[in-house]
Amino acid sequence: MQKFDTRNFTEDAREAIAWKARGYKDFKLPHLRAWNYDLCRTHRNGWVENYFEDGVDKKRTIHDRPSPGCRKCGIHFRQHQRVSIMWLYLKKRALLADTMGSGKTTSAGGLIAMLIETGELAVRRDRSKPDGGVGRVVITPRSAALHQWQDELLRMMPGLNVVVATGSKKQRAELYLNPWQVLLIGPEMLNNDLEMLMRFDLSLFVTDDIDQLRNPETNTSYSCDRLGGHADRYVIMTGTPLQKRLPELHAVLDGIGGSRVFGSRDNFEKSHVRRGYFTEIDKRTGLETKRQQITGYRNLDVVKRKMAPMVLRRTAADLTDVNLPTIIPDDVMLDLYPAQRAKYTELQKGVITILREEGAQVKHTTALSKLHYGAAICGGLATLGEPDGPNTSVKMDWILNKLGEGGDLEDEKVVIFAQYKTSVRALQYRFREAGIGFETVWGEQADKMARKASQERFWEDPTCKVLIGTRAIEQSLNLQVARHLINMDMILNPARMEQLAGRIRRDGSAFQHVFVHNLLTVNTQEERYLPLLEREAALASHIWDENSQLFQALNPMALLQLISG
């Protein structure tokens, strides 16, 4: 194992080997003694796998790998995970951007096991040093995923000393002084405790799906990059490092050496971002204001070439040994009920008036408020805060018909995404009345342990058929026990919609296919969402060589035109 210890390598040697390893389809890792490869009690004598061969359904007993969906069995690395573990170990500062659901958490765990194997994550304490001389690991996922990360790490390495940063600042300070190997801390607490954590010797700092890294002006971006610069290794994990605008990619890569490769953010934008000016006139004062907006991009091949050594991304097509289900989209077109249609028609008339009077000068806040109001009408009168009842929400009625007695999804586990809390409350009431077991993960449930209990019940309780979630379920949660996702609302951000689908489309799913039902209403702004999302996804698709189209960010006038038609 010592030949893999990079502490004796020159930086050039490590980079050269990492570049070569990046292109491997598989890699033979050593046996990692800290890792749990064992099957659980239920499956240690084998489990039955159904498979299809020569046109015939067959069965076989499996003894050498975990059962899909079992959260107690140990883990056997997939081919792409073995490659990513070795690449991350060699690279030290890197972005792991594999597609959602492919098992990036396992790759991070495997890297920790490698550090234990080489002695870079030590257990012994040196009392002559303030932190005990222990090379430590700090991991920052989204706060909602802290305890899920803890459970997964202990499943991977049962002997690992993992702690979660909770409690008052004094309690956290006492926790940090105790012996630990891995600390899990949310982004908000990381901002508060950064100076304390900077006192420790860190072998590794990992971030997982931290959206704030895309904006270099945020405190979280500063804290992550500063602690990452202090640690011997800094790994950023996200399936969506680029959501809508190219400068986001520079911000994400900055902390792992992006500025050395691309130069400053200003130079990056001058080289790769096209901007145009438009004039805005204040009607009250008559004053003109010139503003810039992104109109396109250039030299993207240079961006891809320069960032390649820092980034490892595999799409679903690259993961040949992963049971990543195929997504079957189901765009359900529904007619608004008369009460909804009347409100939407009134909204359209008001928007057309705004467009006639203000045109391109309309303010972004005005456009967004109208767009959200239109989306709420499409959700139902209860979403607007009005009484719920028969013929007030075509979407909620569709959901209840499918999930209720005799419905197509009566016996299925289903995840429902709703953007508005008023919609969630109406769904909760309807499910209680119908006797449908459900759990909810949303902002009203601030207690992380309560959220964990909700997720556990959805996994384990056969009577709990539905998990309702707001944006709190967009990232990090493992919900592959379900094969149906119902999007009651759509988000005008393709990366976030992909993240939602990634909650059920994950490695370890027992399903060949998962179904994403997008509820859309006819003759409304929602009818124009799908072409818009395809256009908005074009930049990220081009960067990852998925297609060659580019997109422009929506301006306020385009937002209103979604409503007015």
Residue 549 has pLDDT above 60, yes or no: no
**Confidence band (pLDDT; 50, 70, 90) for 308?**
very high
CA 460 to chain centre: 23
From 53, 59, 23, 68, select the one nearest 324 (Cα to Cα): 68
Pair of tokens at residue 30: 């050593």
DSSP annotation of 507: T
How many residues appear in the chain?
A: 565
pTM across the whole model:
0.81
Give dist(CA 293, CA 283) in Å, integer: 21
Residue 548 has pLDDT above 50, yes or no: no
Give dist(CA 250, CA 261) in Å, integer: 10
How large a percentage of the chain has pLDDT more than 90?
59
Please report the pLDDT score of residue 552 as a whole number: 43
Distances from the Cα of 228 to the Cα of 19, 256, 262, 347, angstroms:
21, 8, 19, 49
Helix (H) or strand (E) holding 14: helix 11-22
DSSP annotation of 266: H
**Confidence band (pLDDT; 50, 70, 90) for 415?**
very high
* Mean pLDDT confidence for 363-388: 94
Residue 547 has pLDDT above 80, yes or no: no
What's the chain's average pLDDT?
Answer: 88
Architecture of domain 2-37+79-318: 3-Layer(aba) Sandwich (3.40)
**Confidence band (pLDDT; 50, 70, 90) for 55?**
confident
Three-state DSSP string of 278-289: EEEECCCCCCEE
* Phi, psi dihedral angles at 398 (to 5 degrees): -60, -45
Residue 1 has pLDDT above 50, yes or no: no
Residue 227 has pLDDT above 70, yes or no: yes
Q: Which range among 175-179, 415-419, 554-558 shows the weakest confidence by mean pLDDT?
A: 554-558
CB 505 within 8 A of CB 101: yes
* Phi, psi dihedral angles at 507 (to 5 degrees): -60, 135
Please report the pLDDT score of residue 449 as a whole number: 82
Residue 98 has pLDDT above 80, yes or no: yes
CB 376 within 8 A of CB 383: yes
The predicted-structure confidence for 248-258, as pLDDT tens digits, reads as follows 999 999 999 99
For 367, residues 6+ apart whose C-beta sits below 8 A from its C-beta are 556, 557, 559, 560
* Phi, psi dihedral angles at 432 (to 5 degrees): -60, -45
Q: Which range among 64-73, 101-110, 441-450 shows the weakest confidence by mean pLDDT?
A: 64-73
CATH H-level, domain 326-564: superfamily? P-loop containing nucleotide triphosphate hydrolases (3.40.50.300)
Q: What secondary structure does DSSP assign to 375-408, as a single string?
A: HHHHH-GGGGTSPP-TTS-HHHHHHHHHHSTT-T
Residue 232 has pLDDT above 50, yes or no: yes
Please report the pLDDT score of residue 129 as a whole number: 46
CATH 3.40.50.300 residue window(s) in the chain: 326-564
Higher pLDDT, 192 or 508: 192
**Confidence band (pLDDT; 50, 70, 90) for 379?**
very high
The predicted-structure confidence for 452-490, as pLDDT tens digits, reads as follows 899 999 999 999 999 999 988 887 788 999 999 999 999
CATH 3.40.50.10810 residue window(s) in the chain: 2-37+79-318
Please report the pLDDT score of residue 525 as a whole number: 95
Pair of tokens at residue 40: 């659980």
* Mean pLDDT confidence for 136-165: 94
Three-state DSSP string of 193-219: HHHHHCCCCEEEEEEECCHHHHCCCCH
Residue 2 has pLDDT above 60, yes or no: no
Give dist(CA 361, CA 45) in Å, integer: 70
* Mean pLDDT confidence for 530-546: 72
From 90, 223, 126, 99, select the one nearest 495 (Cα to Cα): 99
Give Dmax over CA atoms of the chain in angstroms.
80
Residue 341 has pLDDT above 80, yes or no: yes
Please report the pLDDT score of residue 320 as a whole number: 80
DSSP annotation of 64: S
Q: Residues 233, 236, 237, CA angle at the centre, nearest 5°?
A: 130
Residue 157 has pLDDT above 90, yes or no: yes
Q: Which range among 45-49, 134-138, 347-351, 546-550 shows the weakest confidence by mean pLDDT?
A: 546-550
Q: What secondary structure does DSSP assign to 100-137, as a single string?
A: TTS-HHHHHHHHHHHHHHHTSS-----TTSTTTT--EE
Please report the pLDDT score of residue 243 as a whole number: 77
* Mean pLDDT confidence for 496-521: 89
**Confidence band (pLDDT; 50, 70, 90) for 123?**
low
Distances from the Cα of 334 to the Cα of 340, 378, 443, angstroms:
12, 10, 29
Q: What secondary structure does DSSP assign to 455-482, as a single string?
A: HHHHHH-TTEEEEEESGGGSSS---TT-
* Mean pLDDT confidence for 12-28: 92
How large a percentage of the chain has pLDDT more than 70?
89
For 490, residues 6+ apart whose C-beta sits below 8 A from its C-beta are 497, 518, 520, 526, 529, 533
Residue 414 has pLDDT above 60, yes or no: yes
For residue 151, give the 3-state DSSP assignment.
Answer: helix
Pair of tokens at residue 341: 């249609």
